[in-house]
Structure 1
Amino acid sequence: MRICTFTRHHRLAKLAAALIAGYLFCTYVLQNGTEFVQSECEVVEPNTIFSVSSLNHSKSFRFWRMPGSEKTLLDDDAYSTPDNIAESLKRIANMHKMSSVNCHALFNDVQRDIEHAKRTNEKIRTPLDDCSYLPLTVDCRTFVASRGYILSPLTEEEEEFPLSFSVLAYKDVEMVERLLKAIYSPQNYYCIHIDEKSPHSFYQSVASIAKCFPNVFIASRRIDVRWGWFSVLEPELQCMKELWRYPKWKYFFTLTGQEFPLKTNFELVKILTVYDGANDIEGTIRKDFVGYILHNKTAKEILHWAKTYTFVPDETYFATLNYNPQLGIRGAYKGEPETDDVINPFLTRFKNWGRFQCASGQFVRNICILTLGNNYYYFVFFFLKLYYQTSKITIMCPLHN
C-alpha cells in the first residue's frame, strides 16, 4: 500500500502555487534567521510547476506575486470577493490560456490546429501524482487561490439555484481536481466517492483537497465498484443520502472522475430553469426525485428488483422510475418513451460508443477515450471519457473559453 508522507521542509511547498500563467515567481531568502526578503522575480510561462525538490528547504522559498503589485497569494484580500469578480475571472481564465493553441479552431475541427495542439500536448508536464497534492493543500487558502477556484457566486440566479454533484473517482487525482475546479461554485454541494480498490495515496490526496472546501466532502462509505453490477449504482445512492442533509440544492448530477464540463455553472442553471423541474435520466435529476428514491417504499422495492434481477442496474433503475408517470414522481417523463437522440436527446453527457471517429483509437467498456481530434455534441453538459495525460489541452480549452 502506498502512503504519502512529507517532512516539515515540504510545508514550504504550500507557498509554491502552481499553474498561474502571467504571474511573477519570486525567490525570498531568509536573512538573520527571522525575515524573508525578496531577492529576485521572474516571469513564468503558462503551465510551469515547481516541485518541492526545487525549493531550497528552510533557506529560501518562492511563491507567486502579481506583476506591479505588492500583494501575494498569501494575503487575505487576494481571493475572490463580490467586488472583484470580473478581475478574478480574468485571472482564472488566464491561468488556462495557452497562446500557442487556438482553442476556437480545435472546437471547429481545423485539422492543422489539431495536429499542432497534439504536439503541444506532448510537451506539457506529466500529471501531478497522488502524493503531490498533500504538501500543496497544507495551506488551503493558498491552494484554493493558486488553483483558480471561484469563491463567490457569480450571479444572483446561481446563488438562488444551488446544485449538487456526486463524483465517482478511482484514479488520476489531478483529473479529479481539475473536474472539481471546473464545476465548483460556493453555493453548490459536492460528494466524492473514492472506490474501495483505489490506493490509499489516492484517497489521501482527494481527501486533502476536499478538506479545503466547506461544501465538498468524501462519501463516508467506500464501495468496491464493479462494472455492470449493483456496485455502480450504490455510490450514487450513498452520495444522495449524504447530500440530502443539505436542504437548498435544486438538481443532482451524477458524474465520474473522467468527465469534464462543456457548460459553465451559469449555463447549467439557465438550462435547468427551462427544464422547469423535469429530469434528464442520463444523470440530471431534481431534488424531489432524489427524495422519492431515498424514502418511497415503491422506489425501494424497484431498487431490490433491479439489484436482484437486472444487469447494469444503474441503467435500469432510474429509467424505470422516470418513465412510469403513474408512480407520481414529480419531473417524470409523461410523453412517448422515445429515446432517439435526435428526436429526444439526452443532454447530460456525450459518450462516443463508436458512432463517431475515435481519434485516440482507444476504447474502455466500448466507450472512446476522447482526445484532440474528436467530434463532440457541444450542446451537452459534460463529455466522457477523458484521461488527463492525453487530454490536457482538451481540458484547458473549455476552462479558458
Structure 2
Amino acid sequence: MKCHILSTLRTRTVLLCAGTGSLMALFSMYLITPSNEWSKYMLIFNMNIESSVTATHSLSSCSELFNELSFSANSTNSYINCCNDTELRSNNTGYVCNLTMQHRLMEILNIVKMPGINCNALFNGTPLAAAKMNTTGRQDDIPIKDIDYLNLTQDCENFQTTRGYIMSSLTQEEEDFPLAFSMVVYKDAEMVERLLRAIYRPQNYYCIHVDLKASDNFINATSAIADCFPNVFIASRRIIVKWSWYSVLEAEIVCMNELWKYSKWKYFINLTGQELPLKTNYELVKILTAYRGASDVMTNYKCIGRHNWRWRGYPVPFGLVKSVGSVHITANRDFVDYIVNNETGAAILNWTKLLAIPDEIFFTLLNANPKLGIKGTYTGHQDSCDKRLFMTRYKMWYNAPCAGKKVRGICILSTGDLPRLFAAKQ
C-alpha cells in the first residue's frame, strides 16, 4: 500500500506543565488542547519541522503514517492522500483504520493550532519568541470551572468530539498492549481532564481517586467526566490524603485493587493530577515492550543514612534489605499481583503503616529485594551507593537547571527550558 504525503510537517510534540506534581517522561499521544484553553499549566510545541516536503512511503496501515507524522499542531495545510476506502477496510492490521478516523485526527490537529508562534525560535532559546508565546497563550486563556463540566458532559459523544479525545487505538501494537493508570487528584477538574485527554485510549483503563476532602464541585465534575467513558471510573473508596502519611500509599492501593479485575493490561502507571506527558502512547508502548516485563521503580540501597529516621526504630520484616525511593512507579502485572493478592505483600504493606513517609518505602522495598520472587524487579548489586533512578518521570530537583520556578523543590518547566529538553531528547 502506497501513501503519499504532501506538505508534511514532521514533528514531535512536547508538553510542559506547571504544577506541584512531577513532569512525566513517558506518556500519551498527540495532546489535544482547544485553542481557547491555553492556560498557565502547559504549552504545546512542535519539533523538527520540515515543511513543503513531498514523499512517498510504503506503510502497512494509515496508523503507521499517523505515528510517523505525530500530528503537528501547525499542519493545517497538510494533506494526506492515504489509500482509499477499500484498501483501508481490507488491510490486515486487525483494527479499523478508515478515512473517518483520518479526517477526525486532522480535525483534532487543527484545534490545537496557535498561529504566529515561531517554534524554531522557542527551541533555539530566543527570548522574544518565549515572551510572545506567553502573551499569546494568556490572551486566549479561558479557564473551565469545575461546575462547567456538568453541562459539558450532558452529551458524552459531543464532549468527546469537542474536547478532542482520540477514540481509537490507532495501531494494532497499542491495541495489544493496554495500560492501566491511576490518577490521585484533589483539585482543578480542568487540569485533571487535560491529563486524561492526553493519555486516553479506549484500550487502556483509568482509575481516578478523588481525595475525600475535595470540594463537591470537583467530585461532581470528575464523576461526570468519568461517566462519559466505559474504561474510566472513580475509585469506589476515597481516602483523605495527607502528605507523608500512609494515606498517600493507600490511595494508590485502592486503585490497584480496582484495576486488577481488568485482566488485559500489561503495566500499571500511577499519576497525580498535576502532571502531563512528554511521550506518545505509541512511544510508551514501544518503550515498555523493550522493558520485557521489567518494572521501573526508583531504588536507593545503601547510602540512606539520612533516611533512617523514617523507620522509627522498627526492624524491616522478613530480613529485607532497606531501600527508599518514590511512590510513582511503572509496574508490571506481577508486581501489582504481589501487592493485591500475596500474603507477604500484605504484611509488608501493613508494616509500612508504622513508618514515616511510607509511600517512599513500600514500592521500592518490593523492587529492591529479589528474594520476594516478584518478576521484573531489580536483581543487580545491592552494595552500591548509586540510586537506581527510574525512566518514567522527568523531575528536576533543587539545584538542577530551571528556567521556570521551583515549587517544593521541583522545577516547574517553562518555555526557557525547551532548548535543554530538546537537546536531551526529552
Distance 1:245 1:381 in 2: 36
1:311 paired with 2:356, answer yes
Structure 1 residues 380 and 202: CA distance shift in structure 2, 3 A:
farther
1:83 paired with 2:128, answer no
Structure 1 residues 88 and 381: CA distance shift in structure 2, 3 A:
farther
1:47 paired with 2:36, answer yes
Unaligned runs of 5+ in 2: 1-31, 39-94, 298-327
Distance 1:289 1:104 in 2: 43
Specify which of 214, 231, 255 is matched with residue 215 of structure 1: 231
Aligned 8 A contact 1:162 1:187 in 2: yes
Of the structure 1 ranges 225-234 and 369-378, higher mean CA displacement relative to structure 2 is found in 369-378
Shift, 1:173, TM fit: 0.9
Partner of 1:65: none
Aligned 8 A contact 2:269 2:331 in 1: yes
Specify which of 358, 361, 381 is matched with residue 336 of structure 1: 381
Partner of 1:111: 127
Specify which of 354, 361, 364 is matched with residue 398 of structure 2: 354
Shift, 1:333, TM fit: 0.8
Aligned 8 A contact 2:36 2:142 in 1: no
Letter in 2 for 1:367: I
Aligned 8 A contact 2:398 2:411 in 1: yes
Identical counterparts, % of pairs? 51
Letter in 2 for 1:264: T
CA displacement 1:313-352 (0-9 Å, x = unmatched): 11100000011111100011111356857xx541111122
Structure 1 residues 340 and 124: CA distance shift in structure 2, 3 A:
farther
Partner of 1:154: 170
Aligned 8 A contact 1:254 1:283 in 2: yes
Partner of 2:144: 128
Distance 1:264 1:304 in 2: 36
Aligned 8 A contact 2:405 2:413 in 1: no
Of the structure 1 ranges 295-304 and 137-146, higher mean CA displacement relative to structure 2 is found in 295-304
Distance 1:83 1:367 in 2: 43
RMSD: 2.6
Aligned 8 A contact 1:163 1:249 in 2: yes
CA displacement 1:71-106 (0-9 Å, x = unmatched): xxxxxxxxx963133322222122112122234543
1:283 paired with 2:329, answer yes
1:324 paired with 2:324, answer no
Structure 1 residues 239 and 108: CA distance shift in structure 2, 3 A:
farther
Partner of 1:266: 282
Distance 2:135 2:273 in 1: 25
Partner SS, residue 170 of structure 2: coil
Specify which of 388, 403, 410 is matched with residue 367 of structure 1: 410
TM-score w.r.t. length of structure 2: 0.67
Aligned 8 A contact 2:398 2:410 in 1: yes
Letter in 2 for 1:332: T
Aligned 8 A contact 2:182 2:209 in 1: yes
Distance 2:271 2:390 in 1: 15
Aligned 8 A contact 2:183 2:271 in 1: yes
Aligned 8 A contact 2:207 2:232 in 1: yes
Deviation above 6 Å: which 4+ runs of structure 1? 378-382
Distance 1:381 1:305 in 2: 41
Greater length-normalized contact order (CA 8 Å, ≥ 6 residues apart): 2
Distance 2:138 2:389 in 1: 35
Letter in 2 for 1:82: C
Aligned 8 A contact 1:20 1:146 in 2: no
Distance 1:323 1:306 in 2: 15
Partner of 2:18: none
1:294 paired with 2:340, answer yes
Structure 1 residues 339 and 346: CA distance shift in structure 2, 3 A:
farther
Letter in 2 for 1:47: N
Aligned 8 A contact 2:185 2:208 in 1: yes
Partner SS, residue 193 of structure 1: strand
CA displacement 1:101-132 (0-9 Å, x = unmatched): 23454355443322221222321223211111
Distance 1:258 1:150 in 2: 21
Aligned 8 A contact 1:280 1:348 in 2: yes
Specify which of 241, 245, 250 is matched with residue 229 of structure 1: 245
Partner SS, residue 134 of structure 1: helix
Distance 1:355 1:367 in 2: 9
Shift, 1:368, TM fit: 2.9
Specify which of 267, 273, 278 is matched with residue 251 of structure 1: 267
Aligned 8 A contact 1:339 1:345 in 2: no
Structure 1 residues 331 and 90: CA distance shift in structure 2, 3 A:
same
Aligned 8 A contact 1:261 1:381 in 2: no
Of the structure 1 ranges 279-288 and 154-163, higher mean CA displacement relative to structure 2 is found in 279-288
Partner of 1:15: none
Partner SS, residue 331 of structure 2: strand
Partner SS, residue 374 of structure 1: helix
